[in-house]
């Protein structure tokens, strides 16, 4: 397999990407290969634990496109560090369009992949696209409203009020054309940060790459409850693999189960005895990625292309 730096435009702004091309046979035809399109979670960048998944997909014949959202990592765009789910979803659509334009990619075998915050994004993206072959979602944030209530549970209502105040301050600065007011994405319990759940700071530190910045536009807190991918699940028209971390204390599992139930017979659910960040390494990674590879082999096999060609 080979990896190269790429870029594509999303609403007039350059998004940076890494394109991993496969030299393996199982999912490859003489005409083209499938492509897994990977975005990351809350404030994260493409150099944060995605490559091991990408390499396993490439090993069975799928190309992979990993990208940074506008304003994150090595992508262009302002404001920087703006966690806005509607912008992230728009960037996913642009990444999928770019993947379809690649000469060795089968445009009918695109698979959006997401983890944590992006694990929710991929559902409404797939529904709106209407053409993707399958969807992979792990440790997903399926309901922002439930996630905000989870913050209130572990950090207290006062924490939510403080974060709301910072959000209003940032929005006021935006209206006046001033630079963003930022807060940390993650921090220890008792600190002022968007995520302070037990183990979250250590989890971020374990997987984040060199381009990660532990800050976000505070305005993003205000929009979390509006991000509700669970409401899209019943409209899905392609196979869905959901990897659920049973001990997840960041992305409420009740919402993940609800999304899978709404997707009905299209959904396959793998429940792992793990926390939110355990699925990026070790035994839980092996179980998760093995299931994801099996899912690809089942739902985007080479014969799909052969039938289309015939």
Question: 173-203 pLDDT, tens per residue?
Answer: 999 999 999 999 999 999 999 999 999 999 9
Instruction: Identify the burial level of 190 via C-beta atoms within 10 angstroms of its C-beta, where 0-12 means exposed, 13-18 middle and 19 or more buried.
Output: exposed
Residue in 140, 144, 148, 146 with CA at minimum distance from that of residue 256: 140
- Rounded Cα–Cα distance for residues 220 and 171 (Å): 9
Which residues contact residue 8 at a Cβ distance below 8 angstroms, ignoring those fewer than 6 apart? 14, 15, 17, 67, 94, 95, 97, 98
| pLDDT bracket for residue 286 (50, 70, 90) | very high
Q: Where exactly are the structural domains of the chain?
A: 2-154+228-309
By DSSP bridging, strand 105-115 and strand 63-67 are unpaired
Helix (H, G, I), strand (E, B) or coil at 249: coil
**What is the residue whose two structure tokens read 């091991």?**
52
| pLDDT bracket for residue 24 (50, 70, 90) | confident
Q: What is the DSSP string of 41-100?
A: STT--TTSS-HHHHHHHHHTT-EEEEEPPTTSTT---SSTT---HHHHHHHHHHHHHHHH
Residue in 116, 192, 189 with CA at minimum distance from that of residue 161: 192
Neighbours of 163 (CB within 10 A): 22
Q: Count of alpha carbons within 13 Å of 286, Cβ hemisphere only? A: 2
**Residue 98 in contact with residue 7, Cβ under 8 Å?**
no
Helix (H, G, I), strand (E, B) or coil at 115: strand
Look at residue 31 in the predicted model and tell me its pLDDT. Answer: 66
Which residues contact residue 218 at a Cβ distance below 8 angstroms, ignoring those fewer than 6 apart? 163, 166, 167, 169, 170, 180, 181, 182, 183
Fold for 2-154+228-309, please state it.
Rossmann fold (3.40.50)
Region of 136 (left: φ > 0; alpha: ψ -120 to 50; beta: rest) is: beta
Q: Is the pLDDT of residue 263 over 70?
A: yes
Determine the distance from the C-alpha atom of residue 90 to the mean position of all C-alpha atoms in its chain, rounded to a whole number: 13
* Bridge partners, 7 (sequence order): 16
* Bridge partners, 260 (sequence order): none
**Residue 233 in contact with residue 123, Cβ under 8 Å?**
yes
- What tokens were used for 62? 């799928």
Which residues contact residue 47 at a Cβ distance below 8 angstroms, ignoring those fewer than 6 apart? 73, 209, 210, 211, 212
Q: Is the pLDDT of residue 308 over 80?
A: no
- Rounded Cα–Cα distance for residues 296 and 290 (Å): 10
Q: Is the pLDDT of residue 310 over 70?
A: no
- What tokens were used for 168? 């209003």
Q: What percent of the chain has pLDDT over 70?
A: 96
**What is the residue whose two structure tokens read 């995520």?**
195
Whether the CA torsion 304, 237, 37, 280 is positive or negative: it is negative
pLDDT tens for 39-76 read 999 999 999 999 999 999 999 999 999 999 999 999 99
């Amino acid at each position: 397999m080979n990896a190269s730096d790429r870029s594509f435009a999303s609403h007039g702004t350059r998004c940076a990407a890494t394109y991993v091309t496969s030299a393996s046979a199982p999912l490859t035809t003489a005409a083209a290969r499938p492509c897994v399109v990977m975005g990351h979670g809350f404030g994260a960048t493409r150099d944060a634990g995605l490559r091991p998944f990408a390499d396993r997909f490439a090993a069975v014949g799928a190309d992979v496109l990993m990208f940074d959202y506008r304003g994150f990592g090595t992508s262009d765009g302002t404001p920087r560090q703006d966690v806005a789910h509607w912008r992230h979803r728009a960037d996913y659509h642009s990444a999928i369009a770019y993947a379809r334009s690649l000469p060795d990619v089968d445009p009918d075998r695109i698979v959006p992949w997401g983890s944590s915050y992006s694990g929710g994004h991929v559902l409404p993206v797939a529904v709106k696209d209407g053409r993707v072959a399958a969807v992979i979602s792990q440790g997903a944030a399926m309901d922002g409203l439930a996630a905000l209530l989870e913050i209130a549970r572990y950090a207290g209502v006062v924490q939510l009020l403080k974060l709301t105040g910072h959000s209003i301050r940032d929005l006021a600065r935006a209206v006046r054309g001033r630079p963003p007011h930022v807060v940390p994405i993650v921090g220890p319990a008792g600190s002022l940060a968007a995520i302070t759940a037990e183990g979250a700071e250590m989890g971020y530190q374990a997987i984040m790459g060199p381009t990660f910045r532990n800050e976000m536009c505070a305005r993003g807190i205000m929009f979390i409850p509006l991000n509700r991918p669970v409401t899209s699940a019943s409209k899905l028209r392609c196979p869905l693999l959901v990897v659920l971390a049973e001990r997840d204390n960041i992305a409420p599992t009740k919402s993940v189960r609800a999304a899978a139930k709404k997707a009905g017979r299209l959904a396959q659910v793998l429940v792992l005895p793990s926390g939110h960040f355990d699925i990026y390494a070790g035994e839980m990674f092996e179980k998760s990625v093995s299931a994801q590879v099996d899912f690809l082999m089942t739902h985007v096999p080479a014969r799909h292309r052969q039938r289309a060609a015939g």
